[in-house]
Amino acid sequence: MSYWVAASFGALDVRNHDLASEGYEFVVTPIIPSPPQILWGDGAALWSEALDAAIDDSDVDEPTRDALAALEDLGVLVRSESPTLPSRRASPPWLVSYQHELVYALLSNVADQAGIDIVFIKGPVLHWQGLRGKEHSGDVDCWVRPGHETILAEAMERWGWRTSRTAFDGTRIAHSQTLMPGEWGCEIDVHTRFPGMTLDESAAFDLVLANTVTRAFAGTLVRVPSPPVHAVIYALHELRPVAGRQHTPEQRSTAVRALTSAGDSTIDVTERLGAGFVLKDALSEGFPDFDPSRISTRIPSDWEWRSVVSVPRRQLAAVRLLPWRQRARVVKRLVWPARDASRRVRAASDLPPKAVFLVRVKRLRDGLVRLLRGD
């Protein structure tokens, strides 16, 4: 005896969504690497039936069996010897972008398949938790245990994402790996640590993982930080130096609002993550009774180099933090990057080899000039 069972790596019920005006009923991510499938009519009805209860193959006629087989070919149905249903369901979209919601579910399922613990940070979850006014984000941010980012990146390559390479890949300077989208159209940042924390990166991830709640994205329950932990992460994000520029008063206010919205538990989280140096002033502003002497204010190792305005000098300051065995490799990557690791070289990749060589030389010359001038 065999059964037909609905399968997905994320499924949205769009019968009450704008897509319903076009007759669409479900948007389903297959369990095989391919784009989301939009179901309507008889196909949607069969898939929905197989989602609610396994369909006994002996009870269907030949045309229905052919339709079920077609859904199986799409990767949204499986044939099973057991009538047991998977725990995943279809849920109405709640994000501004239903495509982004499908990416959350896909990432969670791919990570689960690879045995990777994953926590989703920032983005629309902050809005859901009342920590941020902005509802939509253009990319998806997640956090995995150090060393698992390359495994996840390789798994996502089969789904159309490619890794954006940088000179500092594989070193303590890189805090995340960016995955560039293909037809999915949604960039992914895979974090292995978060700037501004002094706690060991593996211990920091374990702490965040132990303090998560769940939220459904496209029928898949994913893990997100609890509000106090998430508020600390968001405040660090707002207060970090970017390209040498310090945070603005508006960003400071945003950080204070997030911390106070999550309550004074953020003080304990700040201490446990070693984020006191960055957040002590925001905590003092948000909690008048807060005593800064209660928490450690050790300076994060990445704060000084991030504060350097000049790009070449900032890179050089970061290189100095690396073990000697890594420095030569990183300097070589900075001076003569791979084609996909430099925007200027990548933009010239269709030119003749001599022209690409000249672009590299000009890039190197410009970098040396900026290093000497300090800009």
pLDDT at 319: 86
Last residue of a domain, one of 301, 319, 334: 301
Per the CB < 8 A criterion, the answer to whether 234 and 258 are in contact is yes
CATH number for the domain harbouring residue 152: 3.30.460.40
Last residue of a domain, one of 80, 107, 125: 80
Q: Is residue 176 part of a domain?
A: yes
Q: What is the DSSP string of 84-153?
A: PPPS---B---SS-HHHHHHHHHHHHHHHHTT--EEEESTHHHHHTTS-S----SEEEEEE-TT-HHHHH
Q: Is residue 168 part of a domain?
A: yes
Tell me whether residue 136 is exposed, middle or buried, using C-beta atoms within 10 angstroms of its C-beta: 0 to 12, 13 to 18, 19 or more: exposed
Q: Are residues 271 and 212 in the same domain?
A: yes
Q: Is residue 216 part of a domain?
A: yes
Q: Are residues 318 and 276 in the same domain?
A: no
pLDDT at 368: 66
- What total of structural domains would you count in the chain? 3
Q: Are residues 72 and 155 in the same domain?
A: no
User: Sign of torsion, CA 201 207 211 217?
Assistant: positive
Q: Are residues 44 and 179 in the same domain?
A: no
As a whole number of angstroms, the distance between CA 299 and CA 276 comes to 8
Q: Is residue 93 part of a domain?
A: no
pLDDT at 205: 98
Q: Is residue 339 part of a domain?
A: yes
Tell me how far the alpha carbon of residue 224 is from its chain's centroid.
11
**Domain hosting residue 350, numbered range:** 310-373
Q: Is residue 87 part of a domain?
A: no
Q: What is the pLDDT of residues 87-113, one digit of tens each?
A: 778 999 999 999 999 999 999 999 999
Per the CB < 8 A criterion, the answer to whether 79 and 89 are in contact is no
Q: Are residues 13 and 143 in the same domain?
A: no
pLDDT at 89: 87
Q: Are residues 213 and 358 in the same domain?
A: no
Q: Is residue 159 part of a domain?
A: yes
Q: Are residues 13 and 142 in the same domain?
A: no
Estimate the crossing angle of helix 265-273 against helix 201-210, to 10 degrees: 150
As a whole number of angstroms, the distance between CA 78 and CA 30 comes to 10
Last residue of a domain, one of 46, 80, 114: 80
Q: Are residues 133 and 160 in the same domain?
A: yes
pLDDT at 115: 98
As a whole number of angstroms, the distance between CA 279 and CA 271 comes to 10
Q: Is residue 86 part of a domain?
A: no
Q: Are residues 120 and 50 in the same domain?
A: no
Note down pLDDT in tens along the chain; length 375 residues.
799 999 999 999 999 999 999 999 999 999 999 999 999 999 999 999 999 999 999 999 999 999 999 999 999 999 998 888 777 789 999 999 999 999 999 999 999 999 999 999 999 999 999 999 999 898 999 999 999 999 999 999 999 999 988 888 889 999 999 999 988 999 999 999 999 999 999 999 999 999 999 999 999 999 999 999 999 999 999 999 988 889 999 999 999 999 999 999 999 999 999 999 999 999 999 999 999 888 888 899 889 889 888 888 888 888 899 999 999 898 888 777 766 555 555 555 666 666 666 666 676 666 666 766 666
Q: Are residues 173 and 64 in the same domain?
A: no
Q: Are residues 287 and 317 in the same domain?
A: no
pLDDT at 346: 55
Q: Are residues 105 and 165 in the same domain?
A: yes
Q: What is the pLDDT of residues 363-374, one digit of tens each?
A: 666 666 676 666
